[in-house]
């Protein structure tokens, strides 16, 4: 029997679709799932007639594979990954390649890479973005870890990855150790930020202007034709247009307003704090999901605590147009924060991340794919070491003229009592970043006052303490 060129362990929705994707590209695939029933159902269902065979034990799986073996794990991130590694390892040979395609924390990937490499195995931790649909038809793939492992996988991953408009595959080697999962983590942080920015604009337009879902669907659809063109805008327009089959009402109006999270956005913020990176808009998105989860308290508070009634009395078209410009400016600012974080991490963790390459492989397949990524690629082409996207001429020219729209939108949203934490954090980041002097002089004075922490002066060298 012909040996399989690739194996998939874990037949959740992502594992199944990726296995189908690889098989559809002409690579025979062997699959294994802890619960045997799922393997049987997959083989009798979506995998029927494809070059996909099932294994019901790890020795059987190892036997089915061409060497060096290429085995991807697509299981729940965390202890499940360690459990699979421990169970499968005794059946592997030096030079075999284990790939973790789940959303693992990059620090876990660092540890696993070191442990497995010490035993002669090659380990690849890869981010995969695109959800179910992307896994099947072409995701954006962000592999990191062993370069030798990447070289042995490049053909398969390149075939499976999304292709951008110019035919370029959305996969490339990100860097050593946990670099691939690190980049995926920041991708998700930016995703949280953009989703929250869109949600806040929706809130202003629906509560402030009384726009209904159908009208919003048209508006977001039109915006998606311009600068804001992106997957998240496209699906938002679709969502507004979807009617509930039972009631005929817009489905979005019937969905409970509690946003869940699996943790990658939170990890991005936690890591940004550790590295001293300013990711205001990502942090605001994480904390906005948290307060959305406080539904019972919010319901109780809404009866007890008064505020203004959201009711906009100015010119409707002006507010709508400001919302579009404000959203575009703040999305750029969210990307700027994410790329800044990756620049800092790249130095700190010796990942040598290539920002242009990252923008390039995010152009298709992934959740944050957007026309804007072409501009980001060009910005890093002009200056590989660009410290902040806002310093690039193109982005300065995009954001500076739109700051008025962002200020206008925020003034009215805040006046109406509509929470706009992410939008306002984007403006606060922008204003802080462009301020030659911030009030941190006072903070330093206070720290010195109560803790003798000392301060530096603008007019002389040295460290000073005052007996206040």
Residue located via tokens 């709508």: 320
User: What length is written for the chain?
Assistant: 468
**Separation between Cα atoms, residue 44 and residue 72, nearest integer Å:** 21
Question: Looking only at residues 238 through 257 of this chain, which bind ligand NBP when binding is defined by CB under 6 A?
Answer: none
Q: Is residue 368 within the footprint of ligand NBP (CB under 6 A)? A: no
Residue closer to ligand NBP (CB basis): 58 or 150: 58
- Whether 184 is catalytic: yes
Closest CA to 87 of 189, 8, 178, 9: 9
Residue 86 structure tokens = 């421990």
Q: Is residue 12 within the footprint of ligand NBP (CB under 6 A)? A: yes
* Residue of 5, 38, 191, 266 marked active site: 191
Q: Which of 7, 11, 170, 370 binds ligand NBP (CB under 6 A)?
A: 11
**Separation between Cα atoms, residue 299 and residue 240, nearest integer Å:** 25
* Residue of 5, 38, 184, 360 marked active site: 184
- Whether 5 is catalytic: no
Residue closer to ligand NBP (CB basis): 60 or 215: 60
Q: Is residue 103 within the footprint of ligand NBP (CB under 6 A)? A: yes
CB of 71 within 8 A of CB of 100? Answer: no
- Stretch near ligand NBP under the rule CB under 6 A, chosen from 127-135, 149-157, 286-294, 403-411: 127-135
Residue closer to ligand NBP (CB basis): 6 or 223: 6
Q: Is residue 39 within the footprint of ligand NBP (CB under 6 A)? A: no
Neighbours of 442 (CB within 10 A): 9
Q: Partners of 64 in the beta sheet?
A: none
392 SS3 class: coil
CB of 292 within 8 A of CB of 258? Answer: yes
Residue located via tokens 């099932």: 54
Shortest Cβ 90–ligand NBP spacing (Å): 15
Q: HSE on the CB side for 363, CA within 13 Å? A: 24
- Taken in order 356, 358, 362, 364, is the CA torsion positive or negative? positive
Binding mask 269-308 for ligand NBP (x = CB under 6 A): ----------------------------------------
Shortest Cβ 283–ligand NBP spacing (Å): 21
Binding mask 70-89 for ligand NBP (x = CB under 6 A): ----xxxx--x--xx-----
Residue 431 structure tokens = 């204003």
Shortest Cβ 363–ligand NBP spacing (Å): 18
**Separation between Cα atoms, residue 348 and residue 162, nearest integer Å:** 30
User: So which residues are the catalytic ones?
Assistant: 184, 191
Q: Which residues bind ligand NBP (CB under 6 A)?
A: 10-15, 33-35, 38, 74-77, 80, 83-84, 102-103, 128-129, 131-132
């Amino acid at each position: 029997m012909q040996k399989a060129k690739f194996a998939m362990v874990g037949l959740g929705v992502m594992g199944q679709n990726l296995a189908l994707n690889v098989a559809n590209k002409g690579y025979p695939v062997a699959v294994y799932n802890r619960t045997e029933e799922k393997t049987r159902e997959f083989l009798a269902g979506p995998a029927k007639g494809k070059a996909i065979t099932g294994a019901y034990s790890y020795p059987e799986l190892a036997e089915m594979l061409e060497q060096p073996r290429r085995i991807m794990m697509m299981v729940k991130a965390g202890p499940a990954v360690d459990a699979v590694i421990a169970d499968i390892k005794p059946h592997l040979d030096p030079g075999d390649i284990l790939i973790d395609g789940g959303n693992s924390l990059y620090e876990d990937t660092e540890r696993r890479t070191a442990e497995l490499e010490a035993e002669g195995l090659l380990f690849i931790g890869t981010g995969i973005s695109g959800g179910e649909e992307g896994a099947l038809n072409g995701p954006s793939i962000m592999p990191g870890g062993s370069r030798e492992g990447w070289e042995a996988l490049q053909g398969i991953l390149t075939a499976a990855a999304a292709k951008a408009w110019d035919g370029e595959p959305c996969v490339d080697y990100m860097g050593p150790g946990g670099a691939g999962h690190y980049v995926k983590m920041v991708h998700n942080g930016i995703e949280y930020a953009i989703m929250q920015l869109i949600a806040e604009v929706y809130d202003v337009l629906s509560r402030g202007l009384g726009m209904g879902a159908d009208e919003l669907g048209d508006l977001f659809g039109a915006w998606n034709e311009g600068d804001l063109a992106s997957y998240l805008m496209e699906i938002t327009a679709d969502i507004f247009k979807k009617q509930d089959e039972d009631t005929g009402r817009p489905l979005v109006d019937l969905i409970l307003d509690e946003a869940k999270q699996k943790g990658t956005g939170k990890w991005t913020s936690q890591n940004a704090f550790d590295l001293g990176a300013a990711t205001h808009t990502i942090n605001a998105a994480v904390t906005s999901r948290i307060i959305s989860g406080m539904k019972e308290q919010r319901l109780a508070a809404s009866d007890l605590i008064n505020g203004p009634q959201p009711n906009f009395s100015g010119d409707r078209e002006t507010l709508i147009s400001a919302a579009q410009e404000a959203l575009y400016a703040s999305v750029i600012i969210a990307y700027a924060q994410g790329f800044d974080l990756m620049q800092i991490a790249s130095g700190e963790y010796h990942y040598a991340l290539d920002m242009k390459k990252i923008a390039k492989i995010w152009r298709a397949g992934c959740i944050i794919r957007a026309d804007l990524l072409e501009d980001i690629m060009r910005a890093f082409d002009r200056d590989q070491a660009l410290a902040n996207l806002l310093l690039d001429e193109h982005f300065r020219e995009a954001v500076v003229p739109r700051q008025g729209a962002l200020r206008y939108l925020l003034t009215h949203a805040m006046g109406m009592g509509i929470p706009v934490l992410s939008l306002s954090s984007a403006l606060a980041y922008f204003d802080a970043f462009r301020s030659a002097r911030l009030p941190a002089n006072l903070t330093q004075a206070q720290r010195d006052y109560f803790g003798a922490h000392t301060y530096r002066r603008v007019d002389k060298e040295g460290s000073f303490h005052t007996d206040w």
